[in-house]
Chains A and B, each alone.
Chain A
Amino acid sequence: MVKGAFPIFRRDMRVMRRSIFSELLAVVAYPLTLYFAFGIGMKGYIGTVEGVPYPVFIAPGLISMTAINAAFDESAWSMWFHRRVQRTIEEYRTAPITVYDIVIGKIFSGFMQGAIKGLAVAAVILLITSFRVEAANLASYLFFIVLGSMIFSCIGTICGTMVDKPENIGRIQAVVIVPLVFMSGIFFPLSSYPPALLPFIKLVPTTAIFAGARQSLLQGGVDGGYAANLLVTALVAFVAAVQTFNRKMAE
């Protein structure tokens, strides 16, 4: 059914391969800066959080953050660019493929960008810092990165589909994405929230991404509640992205 998504996905992967090496420095620079500024800079003041040294506490979140930001960016900008600037979406739409093929191809491209860039940051952090993980925990951690990238690729696709002015994509990022990411406990434990608020915070999908991923990486295992939250969110985001695109194209 989605055979037509492959040429589009392949096109995006080809373009990504060309630029990924020159991009990686920029991709890695931001989380590494945060790692050193907070992890090393604050280490003396913070010591350990929830039983682990502070740099170790923030590392998994920085990796997840890179992944979901990259997925969102790629999907939002790519969709906007192909729709509004190059108008290549119209070329796709006059080929015998469906709008579902197009949007699914784009969502998977965004997802791949997120997953690859997240892994690149993970590799760099493992290489140049003393941060170490159990190999056995990686699979469950990947589960969270994959779902997180998927969800944010869908959200990016929705933005890139609905937003016509590029500056508004930046605004959505500043007002929605950044608060969601930073308030989900990358830099502080969720126990810092007032207990009354905590149940609600735990329902936010980004909390599930960051807290769930950290738990998987540092302690092993997958938290059932977080996993269920993310699976449902991913499904909803996917359906919403496909429908949004479908509706926009029918205008």
Chain B
Amino acid sequence: MRRDSLPGTVLPPGSTDGGSMTDMSVDIRSVSKWYGSLAAVDRFSLEARQGSIFGLLGPNGAGKTTLIRILTTLIRPTTGEAFIEGCSVLSEAKKVRALIGVVPQENNLDRYLTARENLELHARMHGMRSADYRRQVDALLELTGLANRQHEFPDTFSGGMQRRLVVARALVHRPRVLFLDEPTTGLDPQSRRAVWDYVRDLQREMTIFLTTHYMDEADALCDRIVIMDKGRILEDGSAGELKERFAHAHGYELQFRTGLDRYAELLGRLPFVTSLVRNGEALRVTLRGEEFLKPLLDAVGTDDLKGVCLREPSLEDVFIELTGREVRE
């Protein structure tokens, strides 16, 4: 989305006048959230720069949604504090809500309102008058390709259309920080790319904080990626940096003629194999170090081995190495 493609006069209410004290858009300070004895988020600290696309990556249950719910003032952290554009999510929650747009993990559209009415209700809750929001709503419906179905109810939309409507709704009041919780889960490749395109265009106007399960999504979109699991940060950097840092991750792909299951079991028991993933007819393994290649080959023997190749580390490998598991869906 181009800045000039939207009527750009409406400043979000509560936008800080003059320079803010910090250029950090999202500032998380040692936030924890406990559910009974489970730390969904565990002493999590992070700063995201204004105008960046920030990606939070983690397997199911890592604590991504919990963190987003804390930042969007839906739940209070057990301990710690967070700031959005300098406003505290605890003591200035209403101000924070004026600054943020939220796309939750589950679509929460109003099925008794038409697509357009969903956007209009959102605008009114943000204190906009119809003169202010009418063109903005038109532009967003156009942009998300929903203009010709704007008077229909979201029930009749496909999953991708509903998702786009939720994104459009989050943008009506021109937020300064946009939170996207798994924006493209369940979308077909084409719709995913469409969402990516909006997100990239939006970056010029706002900070984007997204979570995802998809490595390619994080790789394609994010300036900065944090990988988390069990409520904690495991690694932090750009996609390039993360791959670089894990260049030592000695990944090999072993192809077998037969007995894949047997070899998988065998490899799983070797102490120097740090991860093992099945990929079609091959097994992908990561070794603790180069020197373990020979013991690996000794262990599997050559009877059924068809080929071995070294693999360039992908973001996925980094993820598996860190969390010890595949991205779960």
Interface centre among A15, A90, A94 (most CB of B within 10 A): A94
CB nearest neighbor in B for A3:
B127
CB distance from A193 to the nearest CB of B (A): 44
Known A-B contacts A7-B121, A14-B117, A91-B122; the reply to A96 vs B127 at CB < 8 A is yes
Cα A90 to Cα B104 with chains together (Å): 9
Chain B residue numbers with a CB within 8 Å of A4 are 125
- CB contact between B126 and one of A90, A93, A96, A250 (< 8 Å): that residue: A96
CB nearest neighbor in B for A250:
B76
- CB contact between A86 and one of B98, B110, B122, B169 (< 8 Å): that residue: B110
Binary per-residue interface labels of chain B (10-21) against chain A in the complex, 1 for a CB within 8 Å, 0 otherwise: 000110000000
Binary per-residue interface labels of chain A (93-127) against chain B in the complex, 1 for a CB within 8 Å, 0 otherwise: 11111100000000000000000000000000000
Known A-B contacts A87-B108, A91-B108, A94-B100; the reply to A7 vs B124 at CB < 8 A is yes
For the side of the interface on B, what is the size category? 20 to 34
Known A-B contacts A11-B113, A96-B13, A96-B14; the reply to A90 vs B98 at CB < 8 A is no
Interface centre among B14, B102, B112, B117 (most CB of A within 10 A): B112
CB <8 Å contact, A97 and B125: yes
- CB contact between B74 and one of A11, A93, A98 (< 8 Å): that residue: A93
Cα A7 to Cα B104 with chains together (Å): 21
Within 8 A of B (CB), among A7-37: 7-8, 10-11, 14-15, 18
For the side of the interface on A, what is the size category? 20 to 34
CB distance from B119 to the nearest CB of A (A): 11
- CB contact between A87 and one of B72, B106, B113, B169 (< 8 Å): that residue: B106
CB <8 Å contact, B125 and A93: no
CB nearest neighbor in A for B179:
A94
CB <8 Å contact, B74 and A90: yes
Is the C-beta of B278 less than 8 angstroms from some C-beta in chain A?
A: no
Cα A15 to Cα B106 with chains together (Å): 23
Is the C-beta of B49 less than 8 angstroms from some C-beta in chain A?
A: no
CB <8 Å contact, A93 and B73: yes
Within 8 A of A (CB), among B12-41: 13-14
CB distance from B96 to the nearest CB of A (A): 8
Is the C-beta of A48 less than 8 angstroms from some C-beta in chain B?
A: no
Is the C-beta of B163 less than 8 angstroms from some C-beta in chain A?
A: no
CB <8 Å contact, A7 and B106: no
CB <8 Å contact, B122 and A98: no
Is the C-beta of B257 less than 8 angstroms from some C-beta in chain A?
A: no
CB distance from B250 to the nearest CB of A (A): 45
Is the C-beta of A182 less than 8 angstroms from some C-beta in chain B?
A: no
CB <8 Å contact, B112 and A92: no
CB <8 Å contact, A86 and B104: no
Within 8 A of A (CB), among B203-259: none
CB distance from A249 to the nearest CB of B (A): 9
Chain B residue numbers with a CB within 8 Å of A14 are 113, 117
CB <8 Å contact, A95 and B97: yes
Cα A8 to Cα B110 with chains together (Å): 12
Chain B residue numbers with a CB within 8 Å of A97 are 94, 97, 125
Within 8 A of A (CB), among B68-127: 72-74, 76, 94-95, 97-98, 100, 102, 104, 106, 108-113, 117, 121-122, 124-127
CB <8 Å contact, B94 and A98: yes
Cα A4 to Cα B97 with chains together (Å): 13
Chain B residue numbers with a CB within 8 Å of A10 are 124
Is the C-beta of A219 less than 8 angstroms from some C-beta in chain B?
A: no
Chain B residue numbers with a CB within 8 Å of A11 are 110, 113, 117, 121
CB nearest neighbor in A for B96:
A96
Cα A86 to Cα B126 with chains together (Å): 20
CB distance from B116 to the nearest CB of A (A): 12
Is the C-beta of A88 less than 8 angstroms from some C-beta in chain B?
A: yes
CB <8 Å contact, B102 and A94: yes
CB nearest neighbor in A for B100:
A94
CB <8 Å contact, A96 and B98: yes
CB distance from B300 to the nearest CB of A (A): 51
CB distance from B184 to the nearest CB of A (A): 20
CB <8 Å contact, B110 and A88: yes
Question: Which residues of B are in contact with A by a Cβ distance under 8 Å?
Answer: 13-14, 72-74, 76, 94-95, 97-98, 100, 102, 104, 106, 108-113, 117, 121-122, 124-127, 169
Question: Which residues of A are in contact with B by a Cβ distance under 8 Å?
Answer: 3-4, 6-8, 10-11, 14-15, 18, 86-88, 90-98, 250
A-B contact pairs, 26 of them (CB 8 A): A3-B127, A7-B124, A7-B125, A8-B125, A11-B121, A14-B117, A18-B112, A86-B108, A86-B111, A87-B106, A87-B108, A88-B108, A88-B110, A90-B74, A90-B108, A91-B169, A94-B72, A94-B73, A94-B100, A96-B14, A96-B94, A96-B98, A96-B127, A97-B94, A97-B97, A98-B94
Q: A91-B108, A94-B102 are in contact. List 11 more A-B contacts (CB 8 A).
A: A3-B127, A11-B110, A11-B121, A15-B112, A18-B112, A88-B108, A94-B74, A95-B97, A95-B122, A96-B98, A96-B125
